Amino acid sequence: MSFSTLGLRPELLRAVAAQGYTDPTPVQREAIPLVLAGRDLLAGAQTGTGKTAAFVLPMLQRLAATAQPQDQRRRIRALIVVPTRELAIQVEESVRVYGANALRSTAIYGGVGFGGQINTVRRGPEIVVATPGRLLDHSRQRTIDLGAVEILVLDEADRMLDMGFIRDIRSILALLPARRQNLLFSATFSKEIRALAEGMLDRPASVQVTPRNTPTDLVRQVVHPVDRGRKRELLSHLVRTHAIDQALVFTRTKHGANKLAEQLWQDGIATAAIHGNKSQPQRIRALADFKAGKVTLLIATEVAARGLDIEQLPHVVNFELPMVANDYVHRIGRTGRAGVEGDAISLVCVDEAPMLREIERLLGSPIPSEVIAGFEPDRSIPAQPIRIRTGGGGPGRQRPRTSGGRGAPTSQNRPRRFGQRGGRPTPAAATTSGRWVSLPGERTRR
């Protein structure tokens, strides 16, 4: 099947061909005709499945085919809500590329100046891509009008709920007209996601192109057992021996990302860190250097990496396993995209054995394990509690979530509001003001 069989206009087909795509992905084959028909849609699709084009292409066609009434011109007609700044930038770029700038669009998100965004909204974009917090900031200051929205897209809805955005999402829904087309995309379907879908979707069509909570078949997974104190040494070894050429490396905390990046630089490896305490220009520069090959390892936290658009990423490394098994699936979904195989490497110490079992239970099968010569783990070392440090000196306490449901927003993924600033904590500040929080049932030192 080719794109020409999906009912898209010639100008959109030319834009797709110009990007080098010939055959639609499964989610595109199923979703595009349904969206063109005006149906509400509940779609299960992970990152790397082509889901952005699955809603952008038919959305552009529907908007182009319907002229705005005279009294509603220069009003927002389509709203795409995403969890992170990076994803907002990526999706809005797709809108411009596929639409050939025929429809005005803009992205609004936190971490950058408010005034400039006010000016872009006043110029009358027809399509807005936004993160929840900054969108509501504009609404509260009455700098944006959502009363004419015809199409709403919630992209990566599961991640938005994990980040504590459910109240923001419901507040946004209350600002929209009752009659509209609704498209909800999610990698997983928790009870919260299904409850949200039932409340906003009208007799939706359903598309499920990826088995629930499973990684893509294009990702080769492996676990390297190693002592906790030798993880950084092993990672450097894998880079020097070319077992890893370029990789997105995950840590659990912002402090951990900074520390690892500094240590790897000392090892002579070009490294950059990207997380919530980095300014947007810093994050954009780090990502650009990584894409250009100037940076070998991009160290990222869970939230910062969500929505990163990195084509043909060869490796994902879990320097630390995530506290929530579902997050493992999201992490490794950054590689093995667009038909290109990738590798997911997890450096696992004895402390993380319970977390590994949860991940394997979610996947339904064990992950192959390979001990690297010279880095054999010392079996006499006892397991220690996994403690998560709250960085930046804030009063909040980070509580681990369980795989069975959504917990309270952590200091790492709490939505930032307009007026809040996040600076990079120094190691000294993080040590004196951070607090250790143990897993449930363990002793806690504050």
pLDDT at 278: 83
Tokens of 283: 């994050």
**CATH fold of the domain at 3-208:** Rossmann fold (3.40.50)
Q: Do domains 3-208 and 214-446 have the same CATH topology?
A: yes
By the 8 A CB rule, do 271 and 236 touch?
A: no
Q: What are phi and psi of 24, to 5 degrees?
A: -70, 150
Burial group, residue 368, by CB count within 10 angstroms (0-12, 13-18, 19+): exposed
Q: Domains of the chain: which residue ranges?
A: 3-208, 214-446
Tokens of 240: 């020097």
pLDDT at 70: 54
The CA distance from 136 to 304, in Å, is: 21
The amino acid at 424: R
Tokens of 440: 């449930």
Architecture in CATH for domain 214-446: 3-Layer(aba) Sandwich (3.40)
The CA distance from 445 to 435, in Å, is: 7
Q: What's the predicted TM-score (pTM) here?
A: 0.64
Collapsing DSSP to helix, strand or coil, 31 comes out as helix
In the 8-state DSSP scheme, what is residue 67? P
By the 8 A CB rule, do 400 and 321 touch?
A: no
What is the number of other CB atoms lying within 10 angstroms of the CB of residue 289? 14
- Would you give per-residue pLDDT tens digits along the chain (446 residues)? 789 899 999 999 999 999 888 889 899 999 999 999 999 999 998 777 789 999 999 999 999 998 665 555 679 999 999 998 888 998 999 999 999 888 999 999 988 888 999 999 999 999 999 999 999 999 999 999 999 999 999 999 988 987 889 999 999 999 999 999 999 999 878 888 989 999 999 999 999 876 555 556 678 999 999 999 999 999 999 999 999 999 999 999 999 999 999 999 999 999 999 887 888 788 888 888 998 899 999 999 876 666 666 767 889 999 999 998 888 887 887 787 666 788 999 999 999 999 999 999 988 889 999 999 999 999 999 999 887 644 333 333 333 333 333 333 333 343 333 333 333 333 333 332 332 333 333 333 33
Element (H, E) at 284: helix 280-291
Query: Counting runs of H as helices and runs of E as strands, what totals does the chain give?
Result: 16, 15
Largest CA distance in the chain: 76
The CA distance from 290 to 444, in Å, is: 38
The CA distance from 415 to 172, in Å, is: 15
Give the Å distances, CA to CA, from 358 to 153, 316, 329, 331, 354.
Answer: 32, 19, 12, 15, 6
